A and B are shown apart, each in its own frame.
Chain A
Amino acid sequence: NAGVTQTPKFRILKIGQSMTLQCAQDMNHNYMYWYRQDPGMGLKLIYYSVGAGITDKGEVPNGYNVSRSTTEDFPLRLELAAPSQTSVYFCASSSPTSGGGDTQYFGPGTRLTVL
């Protein structure tokens, strides 16, 4: 299994440009997540999905959009890039277990800089 894969690894955008961060998992997990990690901070949840066709906002959704057309893929879209979106973005997936103890599996991250 490749686990959770993310592309690209690095990207530099100009203010106002748009881009899509790709995320795919091959573990047949229903749940997928997008986080951002700012320097010295913990991870903040942007969006999550509990299955194909179902998405919901996390703590910091403004400026982002997601879609989930298949179980495997969960792309994150930035429409009008702003310097405040400079961050490292992590995608994760999990399979629900009773009691809430499911493990989230993380991708290697995408480092995005907006200038």
Chain B
Amino acid sequence: GNSVTQMEGPVTLSEEAFLTINCTYTATGYPSLFWYVQYPGEGLQLLLKATKADDKGSNKGFEATYRKETTSFHLEKGSVQVSDSAVYFCALRDTGFQKLVFGTGTRLLVSP
């Protein structure tokens, strides 16, 4: 079946550090891939997405590249800020399915 595996958190960084959150997936078809972010006390919101192999999604300084050969969609940011502290969810939507499959989430804590 379809599944998403994310690195466990929390990830603790100092402001301006480089961020990588790993995400790998298993899918039967050709999925679209997403990163959602959840700030404290709020619902999830889309951060970025990619719908086919080699696409790069980007938003707010975050980037992720759809790597079909390694079935990965790792999230990166060159310089994190305190305001980036949140839980990040990797998700996929397989071809022909209506449903998103989520990873377990990775909590990011950024200190000044």
Report yes or no: A48 in contact with B99, Cβ–Cβ below 8 A.
Answer: yes
Report yes or no: A100 in contact with B31, Cβ–Cβ below 8 A.
Answer: yes
Instruction: Name B's interface SS.
Output: loop
* Residues from chain B with Cβ under 8 Å of A102 in the complex: 93
Q: Which of A77-115 contact B (CB under 8 A)?
A: 90, 92, 99-109
B24 within 8 A of A: no
B98 within 8 A of A: yes
Chain A residues with a Cβ closer than 8 Å to the other chain, count: 25
Known: A42-B103, A99-B32. A107 touches B43 (CB 8 A): yes
* Residues from chain B with Cβ under 8 Å of A92 in the complex: 43-44
Q: Which of B32, B45, B94, B102 contacts A101 (CB 8 A)?
A: B32
The residue in A48, A99, A101, A106 that gathers the most chain B C-beta atoms within 10 A of its C-beta is A101
Q: Which of B23-46 contact A (CB under 8 A)?
A: 31-32, 34, 41-46
Q: Which of B42, B45, B97, B104 contacts A42 (CB 8 A)?
A: B104
A61 within 8 A of B: no
